[in-house]
């Protein structure tokens, strides 16, 4: 259970930092694009994420 909590917190912080960076650069971020970037690009690079949903 603690692993899932840590994973959720990590995802939230990752999304928030990406959202803020995109907004600062003049883009209009949305949740769908963030999920797409996470699923296709970020998650495959980090092995421990494959164990959790």
Res. 47: pLDDT tops 90: no
pLDDT tens digit sequence for 4-43: 888 889 999 999 999 999 999 999 999 999 999 888 888 8
The alpha carbon of 50 is separated from its chain's Cα centroid by a whole number of angstroms, namely: 14
pTM: 0.74
Our CA angle for 37, 40, 42, nearest 5°, is 70
Q: What is the pLDDT of residue 41?
A: 86
Cβ atoms of residues 19 and 29 within 8 Å: yes
């Amino acid at each position: 259970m603690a692993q899932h909590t840590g994973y959720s917190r990590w995802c939230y912080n990752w999304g928030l930092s990406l959202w803020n960076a995109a907004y600062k650069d003049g883009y209009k971020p949305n949740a769908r694009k963030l999920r797409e970037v996470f699923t296709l690009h970020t998650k495959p690079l980090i092995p421990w994420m494959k164990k959790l949903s």
